[in-house]
Structure 1
């Protein structure tokens, strides 16, 4: 009976509470200010605390009343933070009061996080709420960074179902500049990323629906996590870096508090370690395609230089490089840095790079960076001749199917290849037969693996008009590039674009004499398009304008040079001309007879 009476009493009180809540929302600004002043003046008005808490919501009825309530609550809790440690007997009134006060403070900070992250919150209220929350983070533990509170904020931002642009912009502009805020941001992101891709399901929900909803939530959380990580400014790695701290003790541990302030090198080392762990945890997630591409596009600039050991990214980059297509093109930048600056060995690097040379790469968004890296990868003088020849031949074959800007790029890359590797200059001028003075064939010897050992290819029976190069072969060593020639480049002399036909003439120079030639800057051509080619052409000053008539009257439709082995009569035959004149006179007589007949009949 006692339990029933207690339930009845609670049920009777609930309507009164709902009525009180409605009355609280209808309070005027002066009434809210009066409640705040009473709460700050004496403990006798502690009942005002729940009333002021009820006024905080993402979309309050009165913005001014919510701001006034929040400022009063902040002024009330800040001086009491050191006194909230519940020590002593549980029956002690002071201990009970501190416990109650801690629960109200926890409720208050939870409301601050909810209001700050919500998209329904006014921009002015968001800024004030975030400032108050970061003040509690700063002063929560006697000058130490209140990590638990800050972690709840970052976790709510990452898992928010609404846009996070407003709160993220405030964090970037006001708080991410502090070293300890960055440090604990990376710490939170490492923990959050580990639990984003969880397979846990909520009870009472169908498994199929639950999995689909979980997938959508995880994808949104991954996008928000990337926004937070990329929003933190890059680390200043210079020795003169000055790290400003938000809290009093910064990122110092308990052992460091009694000692002197940690040096710049120590702070940098700690930040790089947390930065590395946060990014590694994030890169293990199933990234959406657009996020994946954006990560690869900025990884070599914003992530690799700030990591404690960049080589640990080799698994992620090699896995991305093996995917193919645009993903491989974008992963090339980071992989190239690891190979050239951090000693990464990747044996099949050039084979993968060879397969990336497709017509679609000339239309890719990041083609400028790709072609500059391609030129850098082929710069080494230790590159085997067969490998340099394979890339030169692959590029020249692509010249037949790419836009004019791509043809200009190919000519520049081929020019650099021929200049750096004189052993493949025979591809420019290929003789059908290599014979000695006595008529016997002379060729170079080959190794057991079939690769050429000298500058010229192995002697073989070559049929005129047949190219032995296999454009579909993925292994450059088996493409037969050394047995071919750059006839595709020669065909560019007759390209429809004047810029291409003029530029290909640069390959006529003797590129083996490096003192007389210079390498071409690939960056000058890597961003070309139809628009750039057209603009360059219309800016040229033309001395001779193309005319719509022949300077000399042609005597035949085709010239003999166009069709070797064919002959065309160029001078008119006298007998044939007499027959033509006779036929014309007969036709004229017939026409005159018909005209006279028509007149007579009329």
Structure 2
């Protein structure tokens, strides 16, 4: 039923939406949600493109009273949507959350009851313009929106919402970063990363079942219902973002999730080669993290990376024992050096460099490095020459190994020996001394499992040592039990209390 009450309520709600009181605004948002969702469902809003400017008067003149009402309520709806979009930038989270949920409810209503004439060549409807407005506000350049984006993740579980969000992100990133000529916008880029990292694609097309809007006609032909289309959109979204300059801390965040949250969902993972090789050349922790992605491309997609082992060799620096990605690095280095077809000089160079670095490494790192070196020797028995080095009286005491040499082929590792491990047999920590001592005995064919050692911390070592039960040590003297007695009563023989 069409009454003046609806008109008056819409006016009142619009005014309250501009209130400065949190409770009033949240209540107004909830009321708007109920009012306009009902109008959308009953199809009481004007359908078609809204007239603007001079066209409006002429257009309204030819409408009936009922059509004028529908047009008026459509205009109020549009004003309400604009106000709600502005509230996504509100300083109070409760207001932002209410506005977000209301807008997504409107999106569902518009999807089921379109307000614009459909493109009948496709017969598919989705409120892309409204969703684009939501994404544009989430990707603020000045406000950190990680909490609101986390709340938005609920809607990303819907296949059609996720697909059009990916398209909206790509469009937004293209406009913003291109306009700024690739300059860093840390807050904006963090918001983009937060939103994109919340997007995951099902592994099989049968997993595409949860849609906000079910297309009645030809749903199976809708590109949003096809997994390959989702992968293409996902791929374009990430490539469009990664082609711009990023803050160094964001490089690390992306590389941490790249191998298991990004590459598996791309239709052509090899398109990430340029990004990964550039990150691998940066050095430091970023290079360590790039190893994961390169490992996937090399082993699963036959990537040919020139001088890969030379770069891996140069990543072995003292800092590698102290970064929080140490376990991941040694796990991958172990995989890369597992091939028995690697040249002898290369394996010897890695073993020697690790041994030299071990001289200043902490005990937790040594418990990884020493079994690591032993495993290299097991895989390549010819490297035993580094342990059983024949010597003569006239041999120079100077080590021929060139630590500063970047090329493992030129470092002269095979001319040297692993004297560093012999030195570590006198280490203050008994576990390290024991591990170093294993090199003195013939190594068994079974490799040491270093996986359990990768995550071991200094705290865990100390806790284990403190909990150990110590045996009573035999002494060469008799323990005194009283001040002047015991120990053969030596004190009583020479002293007395007067």
1:391-432 superposed Cα distances (whole Å, 9 cap, x missing partner): 000000011011011111110110110000111111011012
Three-state SS of the structure 2 residue aligned to 1:374 is helix
CA contact (8 A) 1:118 1:162 kept: no
Does the 8 Å CA contact 2:161/2:212 hold for their aligned counterparts? yes
1:362–1:406 Cα contact (<8 Å) kept: yes
For residues 161 and 447 of structure 2, what CA distance do their matches in structure 1 show?
A: 48
Q: Give the deviation of 1:505 after TM superposition.
A: 2.5
Pairing partner for 1:111 from 72, 83, 104: 83
Does structure 1 residue 120 correspond to structure 2 residue 81?
no
Aligned mate of 1:151, from 111, 132, 135:
132
Partner of 1:558: none
2:186 corresponds to which of 207, 219, 235: 219
Alignment of 1:66-105 (within 5 A): 67-80=30-43, 83-86=46-49, 90=59, 91-93=61-63, 100-105=72-77
Gaps of 5+ in 2: 52-57, 119-123, 478-498
Q: TM-score, normalised by structure 2?
A: 0.83
Give me the whole-angstrom Cα distance separating, in 1, the residues matched to 2:405 and 2:474: 43
Deviation, 1:467, is 0.5
Rate the CA distance shift 1:87–1:276 in 2: closer, same or farther, 3 A: closer
Which of 429, 433, 449 is the aligned partner of 2:388?
429
For the pair 1:497 / 2:429, whether they are aligned, the reply is yes
Aligned counterpart, 2:358: 399
Q: Structure 1, residues 481-539: CA drift from partner, whole Å, max 9, x if none?
A: 0100000011111011111011223223323xxxx432122222222332222223334
- What is the aligned counterpart of 1:315 among 266, 274, 282? 274
Query: Offset of 1:300 from its aligned partner?
Result: 0.7
Q: Report the counterpart of residue 34 of structure 1 in structure 2.
A: none
Note the 1:120-519 alignment, pairs <5 A: 120-122=92-94, 125-126=98-99, 128-141=101-114, 144-159=125-140, 161-173=142-154, 175-199=155-179, 218-232=185-199, 234-238=200-204, 240-249=206-215, 258-259=217-218, 261-262=220-221, 267-432=226-391, 463-511=395-443, 516-519=444-447
Structure 2 counterpart SS, 1:261: helix
* Post-superposition offset of 1:326: 0.9
The answer (yes or no) to whether the contact 1:405–1:529 under 8 Å persists in 2 is yes
Q: Which runs of 5+ in 1 are unaligned?
A: 1-39, 201-210, 250-256, 434-460, 550-602
Q: From the superposition, tell whether residues 311 and 259 of structure 1 become closer, same or farther in structure 2 (CA, over 3 Å).
A: same
Check the 8 A contact 2:377/2:384 in 1, yes or no.
Answer: yes
- 1:530 aligned to which of 443, 458, 462: 458
1:411-457 deviation per Cα after TM superposition (whole angstroms, max 9, x unaligned): 01101100001111110110125xxxxxxxxxxxxxxxxxxxxxxxx
- TM-score, normalising length: structure 1: 0.70
Please tell me whether the aligned partners of residues 285 and 323 of structure 2 are also in contact (alpha carbons under 8 angstroms): yes
- Number of matched pairs: 457
Distance of 2:412 and 2:463 partners within structure 1:
39
Q: Residue by residue, what CA displacement relative to the aligned partner does 1:5-54 show, whole Å, maximum 9, x if unpaired? A: xxxxxxxxxxxxxxxxxxxxxxxxxxxxxxxxxxx642686365333322
Question: What displacement does 1:97 show?
Answer: 6.3
Query: Per the alignment, do residues 47 and 529 of structure 1 end up closer, same or farther by CA in structure 2, a change over 3 Å counting?
Result: closer
Structure with higher Rg: it is 1
Whole-Å Cα distance in 2 between the matches of residues 264 and 540 of structure 1? 63
Post-superposition offset of 1:349? 0.6
Taking the aligned partners of 2:284 and 2:348, their CA distance within structure 1 comes to 23
Go from structure 1 to structure 2 and tell me whether the alpha carbon gap of 1:292 and 1:81 turns closer, same or farther (over 3 Å shift): farther
RMSD of aligned C-alpha atoms? 3.1
Other structure's SS at 1:522 match:
coil
Provide Cα deviations, 1:173-194, integer angstroms capped at 9, x if missing partner.
3x11111111111111111111
Deviation of 1:153 (Å): 0.2
Q: Alpha-carbon deviation of 1:336? A: 1.2
Aligned counterparts of 1:328 and 1:390: Cα–Cα separation in 2: 20
Change in CA separation of 1:239 and 1:134 when aligned onto 2, cut-off 3 Å: closer
For the structure 1 residues 148 and 422, does the alpha-carbon distance in structure 2 shift closer, same or farther, using more than 3 Å as the test? same
